[in-house]
Each structure stands twice: as structure tokens, then as C-alpha cells.
Structure 1
């Protein structure tokens, strides 16, 4: 059964998932080779691809609640470990630190450049990927990283330049609890320690779903939870925004099973994020349009909705 033949989300049993880690990609100039995890359903062909960027400090071992869910339902999920990961242990005074944000973007591009190697590393995956259907997703810092492939631009604090790092291979995105505008919207601490948090969304034209928690009161901004809706409101369409009611930065528990980053563990909210992100990706990649509409309508018609969706 190919991905395009898979029934609508929720109507078919999830497939067993196989994965391999770490797949090591040479990364000259990075100082560390890039370590990657590849996960995919054990069966099926024509698998669309999600390259996922983790939040600050996490690694390829994080975000199982999303990666496992997506892979069990027809996606190949590729998770690189960025230089800010606790597993790398980069010192704060490392000369690469000011450009961590840029190394992250290069990590995702390196993954896309080496799909042949990654496909070959997972036994049985050969010939099963659909390279015409690639999405970029990320949580928190990873949302900005994935956003760069969609057209988000950052003023490089080292060079002062604003470069277009978008990638035409990426057809859709999911940005989870992602930072909004910089400048006066940042706390003094964030402005001092994270000078790369100055994104422009004006060129982020690739279709994307932005996911925010309405209780995601981050210490990085003076604006409150609405700050994480900026990637939706300040970018051109087509975009959708999922607001998860009662959710904090972890959106119910996406960083991992029993992960210390999870401050608001809630199985119902997590299940909502799983279902809606899957339905959106299948819609945006041209696999299943009715499934996304049905998921949005079900949320709207619920007597006790866990969130709301708006689109433009």
C-alpha cells in the first residue's frame, strides 16, 4: 500500500515502525559529524518525508510522540542532532556558538542532500521514499530552523546580512511553539543572549501549519503566548494556525516520553497535536485533502474543543 493509498487518518491501524541511529553524515567545517535518526513504517511505498528539527538541547532521541506517530502512519521521519544538543556538550564560549542557528539550517539541508545515504542506512527502506513530497517541521528553536527552509529569514548577528535560506525541495512545514518577532518584543535577557531571534516572516511563502499553546508564556518575550502566533499572522498565505487550549510550550508532551522539557503533560492535547499535524501534512503534500477538512470540522463541532484552527 502506498502513502497515497492510505485511508484517512484514524481509519487504519498504525504500521510497525523501524528506525536506525545514528547514521553519521560527514560535515566538514562543522566540527562534529552530523548524527541522524531515520524512522519509517515497516511496510508501504511512496513514503513522504519529514525532516524534523529538535528544540534547544534535545537530540535525535527526542520527540518520539511525534516521530513515532508520523512514521507509523506513512511518513519517513529524519531527525538530525544539532550542535546545541546536550549530547554534544558544546561549551558556551565555543566559537561556533554565535552561529548555532545557521549550523542548524545547514544540518537540515545536509540531510536533504544525503537522502541516498540515509535511505540505504535503514534496511528495507530502499526505493520507498517519495522525494517529491518533503516537509520540514520543528519545535521551539527547531521551528525557526525549519522555518528558514520555508522562507523565514534571520538577520545574521555576526555578518548583519539577511540571507534567503529557503529550499525548494521542501513543499510544506509544521512550526510548533515557534518564536515570533524580535526587537522590542524580546525580554532584555533574550535580546542579549539570543541575538539570532530576529526573524522576518515576510518571505515565508511555503504552506505551513503553525501550532501554539494559549498558555505558552515564555520568558523570552514581553508579549505572552500570542507571540508564538507571529509565524502565522506575519507570513503570507497559505497558512493555518492551530491554537491548543491550555497548552504550554510542550504542547501536551511532544518533546518525548517522560521528557524533562515537558511541563504540561496531557494525553488529550498531545493526541490533538498528533492528529492535526498528520492531517495537515497529508493535505499540504497532496496526499489527502478531505482528511484535513474533516479534522478541522470535528474540532469545530466538538462540545468541548481542545483547540481551534484558522486558515488564510
Structure 2
């Protein structure tokens, strides 16, 4: 059994609005490892917020993780409360990463707000997971760097309390791999550097996720966090998967172009098994998940 509590409101001086988070966790068990989950920048009104990613969150909580989901400033749920002319708008790439650091800084008030969770979190076992733009957020927390296009600052937002990560359909390198639209409108992507992203991570990409609005490099662009970063890293390429990875952002998500409940279950199983391996030493779960990606009818490799 699992439970969810939201919204938990964390005071955030200097942020456009206070930070709202959702906690989902098993009803029993102690020393729960923590997963910080960063939502994408999708078209839905609510999935890109603390209310999204139920297919993934549910399984992680059932497998013994405490999942904490923030609503980042780019969420459509905050459109009427955030200045569209803010220097970081519309994607708020830096604030997104700082949201996660703020969550780790405020675990005490989070536990105070959720009596069922009090004293049950293992703060030495923390992972970050992110889909799409959330994958970029996770990359920064795992050690990737970039140059701020506004002031030329070399930005390092690596969070040492995070011990592992999962990148789902995450953005890749900048430079000539970016589309003209992305280079013009999301210029912070232009200088992404994965060579400093040393924290262990699982990268999951779909072999039909061309994302032409963002890249000229095809679906392989989403494997850059694996191919360009130092180890230890693992890569899963899902056969036939597009950007939604079957619908990982929510049940019956309208913008999912490759809706496939079985694929969503595969992604959730892989993520859980990987995190159980790197955080808890459960190598058997990860070995079984990898072994499932074999044979003529395998869902990926």
C-alpha cells in the first residue's frame, strides 16, 4: 500500500512563488530511499506539475521509494502567477535545479507536514529522475554543466547528496546538434557539457524520438548523456518508443504519440530495478530487468 500527500508548501524566498511538492511513499517500511522526480514541459495543464507521472511514481512507491515531486515554475499550473518576461522564462532551467536542492534542504519540514513519513527517510540514499526537460534538470544535478547565455557564467549545479540518476528522453548536446528553433529560443542548451556528469545514471531513449523541434541529430541525440558522459552509466534504447515513452507522464495522456501501457510498465520496472541496484545493492532486480530486454520480441536493448 502507498499514500500521497500534496501540496506541501515550502517557503522559497526569491522564487516567484513558494515551492509546492507532492510526496508518495509506502505505508510501511523504514529507511526509505528518496527519489526526486522532475516533470517535463509538456502540453497538458496538470501533468507537468506535481500531479503528473503517476505510472512511474506508483511503482516506485510500491517498490519502497519515497518519491518527492515539485511543481517547477515552467508548469502551466503557474502560468497566471509567473512573469512571462522573467529572464529565465519560459523554461526556468536554473530554478528547476535549485528547486531540487531546496527540497533536500527542507526534508525536515516535509517530514513535519507528513506525519506518516516522520523519521522514515534515508537521507544518505537519494536519486533524481527526470523526463524530457526534467531530464535536463536531472543532468545538471548529476554534474553536467553549461554556460549561462545571459552573463557567460560557467554554471555548476551538481548536488553531492544525489547518488544516482535516471534520464528519460532527456535533451542531448548543444552546438550544431540543435535545431534553429532551439538555438534561438532555448539558448542555454547550446553549451551543455556532459563530460563532468560523473554520477551514476541510467539513460532511457526511444528509437523513434526524433524531436525535430529541438535537434537535427535524430533520436540518438537523447543518448548523448550516456555517450558523452563518463561512467558509470547504463543505456536502454526502447524499440518504437517516441518522446512520451509510451505515456510515462500520466495515465491516458493526450499528447502521448506512442501510447503503450506495456512500454510504460517496462520503463517503470527498469527505473525501479536500476535504483534498487545503485542505492540498495539489489543487483538481482537490475539483472532480471536487463535480461528481459533479450530475444526476438524484446522491447528494447
Question: Does 1:162 find its partner at 2:147?
Answer: no
Q: TM-score, with normalisation over the residues of structure 2? A: 0.94
Partner of 1:18: 3
RMSD (CA atoms) = 1.3
Question: Does 1:262 find its partner at 2:256?
Answer: yes
Partner Cα separation in structure 2 for residue 255 and residue 153 of structure 1: 26
Describe the SS at the equivalent of 1:307: coil
Describe the SS at the equivalent of 2:270: helix
Describe the SS at the equivalent of 1:29: coil
Pairing 1:1-312 to 2, within 5 Å after superposition: 16-57=1-42, 58-89=48-79, 90-97=82-89, 100-198=92-190, 199-218=192-211, 219-300=213-294, 302-308=295-301
Partner Cα separation in structure 2 for residue 207 and residue 173 of structure 1: 6
* Unpaired stretches in structure 2, ≥5 consecutive residues: 43-47
Partner Cα separation in structure 1 for residue 90 and residue 261 of structure 2: 37
> C-alpha offsets along residues 60-115 of structure 1, whole Å, 9 cap, x if unaligned?
00111111110111000000000000000035323441771001011000001011
Partner Cα separation in structure 2 for residue 286 and residue 50 of structure 1: 13
Runs (4+) off by over 4 Å: none
* Unpaired stretches in structure 1, ≥5 consecutive residues: 1-15
Partner Cα separation in structure 1 for residue 108 and residue 216 of structure 2: 44
For the 8 Å contact 1:52–1:78, the answer to whether it is kept is yes
Paired residue total: 292
For the 8 Å contact 1:282–1:288, the answer to whether it is kept is yes
